[in-house]
């Protein structure tokens, strides 16, 4: 440091220039006094302070060498001491299984799931795991999805040979080892009865898991017990319960499936039968909607439901129709009701709900009828302007608008605008037709058709164009316009 001050003061004196160029061996090999550190953090702080001191000295030396035009001294970078290693307990693997605590917990949960699934008849396969990893499990079969019974042969020893639809077969039932002469129930009899009772509880739990309610399941207990006592396993007992009308027991007795009696029979006569779940959800859904909107019980009768299913009326559409019937009943629009009557959709206002909930027509036909009624109502609303009703023509026009993608509401709006324009222009056009075509004037109905074509199909009326030209020529050069001039009847046209 004395050398640096002397140099900066301009006094060269007896300076040892070699010491300015290369640090002395003493300075380079200086030993840092030993210190005692209470912790790693104290040591790191001390290392940081020492580093700052060393850096300060290097900076001073570099500045002095720069004044003499010498390059900076190359210093050796001191790497900080590595931090002590820390092992997370969650990373410590079991010396036997090679799994971490988290993996051990996951495997335990997986084993429990496999055990519960086995009790419910769910078949699984545990895949081999690589060292240090949890094995995976593949579900290979559900008790309610799979094969159906093709034949069942009594082996006359308490067991049966069951052949399935995929060509496989298996032995079911309990083989009788010894015969009994006593009529008193034995311990084996009691155990077997208890086992079957437990099995039917498992079977009922499976059906609840498939979404069926307790009412149909509990009312089917006797049927399900009979199937299990006859030697059927879970898969086939469920398949017969859901898909078969009846089943013949080994003693020759025929039993009918309660599910078929309540839901399955709706598939009769259908070209494309519904699945058991589809039938159940549709029937129960219709009933819930009927309760919500307080519909007559006839709308959930077997005949009505059968037609709803046949015509693919979904529960959502069923609810939409019921709500629309409610809203139209509250609104009680006379023009709308009159349109329904003139279209022969209803006989009187009390039939409004029947119109919306008609089971004999498909949803597409109902939507077309609703749109036609909305269109026709706007014409009836302006009957005082000379507009006449034509159910056939209005139905055709509505079908064309629906083909363009317009909804019932959009068709109603367009009909209101179009018939308003027609109402304003029909009478003036008819009057001009009578003036300029006295010998064979077109009827008001013909002119209305042409105006409808212009409003709803975009077809310009040639008759109106010619009348407009003749009207212009007739009043050309005269002041003002006549009472039937185009200034009156052209207003509002497209």
**pLDDT beyond 90 at 289:** yes
Instruction: Note the pTM of the prediction, 2 decimals.
Output: 0.52
Residue 197 lies in a domain: no
Mean pLDDT for the stretch of residues 291-295:
93
In the chain, what percentage of residues exceed pLDDT 90? 32
Residue 320 lies in a domain: no
Q: Which of 10, 41, 67 is the last residue of a domain?
A: 67
Kindly provide the b/e burial profile for residues 430-452, where b requires at least 16 CB atoms within 10 angstroms of the residue's own CB: bbbbeeeeeeebeebeebbbbbb
Residue 136 lies in a domain: no
Give the residue from 361, 292, 353, 309 showing the smallest Cα distance to 328: 353
| Pick from 65-79, 86-100, 344-358: least confident | 65-79
Residue 315 lies in a domain: no
Q: Which of 42, 67, 92 is the last residue of a domain?
A: 67
Q: Number of folded domains in the chain? A: 2
Give the pLDDT of residue 332.
79
Given pLDDT bands bounded at 50, 70 and 90, which one contains residue 483?
Answer: very low
Instruction: Calculate Rg over the CA atoms of the chain.
Output: 47
Distance CA 49, CA 33 (A): 14
Give the pLDDT of residue 356.
92
How does pLDDT run across 158-190, given as a tens digit for each residue? 566 767 666 776 776 555 443 333 344 444 444
Residue 364 lies in a domain: no
Given pLDDT bands bounded at 50, 70 and 90, which one contains residue 60?
Answer: low
Distance CA 371, CA 366 (A): 9
Structural contact between residues 181 and 253, judged by C-beta atoms closer than 8 angstroms: no
Residue 451 lies in a domain: yes
Given pLDDT bands bounded at 50, 70 and 90, which one contains residue 23?
Answer: very low
Range of the domain at 466: 379-494
Mean pLDDT for the stretch of residues 268-294:
93
Q: Highest mean pLDDT: which of 78-82, 218-222, 371-375?
A: 371-375
Residue 178 lies in a domain: no
Distance CA 171, CA 476 (A): 105
The secondary element (H helix, E strand) that includes residue 439 is none
Give the pLDDT of residue 148.
58
Residue 36 lies in a domain: yes
Distance CA 338, CA 353 (A): 15
Q: Which of 24, 39, 67 is the last residue of a domain?
A: 67
């Amino acid at each position: 440091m004395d050398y640096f001050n002397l140099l900066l003061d301009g006094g060269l004196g007896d300076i040892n220039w070699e010491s300015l160029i290369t640090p002395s061996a003493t300075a380079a090999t200086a030993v840092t006094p030993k210190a005692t550190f209470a912790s790693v953090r104290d040591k790191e702080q001390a290392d940081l302070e020492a580093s700052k001191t060393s850096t300060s000295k290097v900076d001073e030396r570099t500045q002095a060498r720069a004044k003499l035009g010498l390059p900076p001294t190359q210093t050796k970078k001191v790497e900080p001491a590595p931090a002590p290693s820390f092992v997370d307990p969650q990373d410590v693997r079991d010396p036997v299984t090679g799994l971490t605590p988290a993996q051990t917990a996951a495997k335990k949960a997986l084993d429990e799931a496999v055990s519960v699934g086995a009790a419910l008849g769910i078949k699984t396969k545990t895949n081999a795991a690589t060292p240090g990893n949890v094995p995976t499990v593949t579900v290979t079969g559900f008790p309610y999805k799979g094969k159906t019974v093709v034949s069942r042969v009594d082996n006359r020893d308490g067991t049966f040979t069951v052949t399935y639809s995929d060509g496989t077969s298996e032995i079911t039932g309990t083989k009788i080892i010894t015969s009994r002469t006593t009529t008193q129930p034995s311990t084996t009899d009691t155990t077997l009865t208890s086992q079957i009772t437990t099995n039917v509880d498992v079977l009922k739990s499976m059906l609840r898991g498939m979404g069926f309610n307790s009412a149909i399941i509990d009312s089917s207990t006797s049927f399900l017990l009979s199937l299990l006592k006859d030697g059927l396993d879970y898969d086939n007992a469920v398949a017969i319960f859901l898909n078969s009308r009846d089943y013949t027991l080994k003693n020759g007795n025929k039993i009918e499936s309660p599910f078929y009696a309540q839901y399955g029979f709706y598939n009769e006569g259908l070209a494309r039968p519904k699945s058991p779940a589809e039938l159940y959800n549709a029937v129960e859904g219709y009933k819930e909607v009927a309760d919500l909107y307080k519909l007559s019980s006839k709308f959930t009768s077997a005949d009505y439901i059968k037609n709803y299913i046949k015509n693919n009326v979904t529960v959502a559409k069923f609810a939409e129709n019921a709500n629309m019937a409610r809203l139209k009943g509250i609104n009680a629009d006379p023009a709308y009701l009159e349109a329904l009557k003139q279209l022969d959709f209803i006989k009187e206002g009390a039939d409004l709900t029947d119109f919306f909930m008609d089971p004999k027509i498909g949803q597409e036909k109902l939507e077309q009828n609703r749109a036609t009624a909305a269109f026709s109502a706007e014409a009836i609303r302006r009957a005082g302007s000379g507009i006449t009703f034509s159910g056939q023509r209005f139905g055709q026009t509505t079908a064309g608008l629906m083909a363009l993608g317009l909804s019932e509401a959009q068709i109603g709006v367009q009909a209101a605008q179009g018939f308003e324009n027609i109402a304003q222009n029909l009478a003036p056009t008819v009057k001009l037709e009578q003036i300029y075509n006295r010998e064979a004037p077109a009827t008001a109905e013909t002119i209305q058709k042409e105006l409808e074509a212009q409003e709803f199909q975009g077809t310009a009326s040639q008759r109106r164009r010619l009348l407009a030209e003749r009207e212009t020529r007739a009043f050309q050069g005269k002041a003002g316009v006549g009472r039937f001039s185009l200034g009156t009847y052209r207003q509002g046209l497209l």
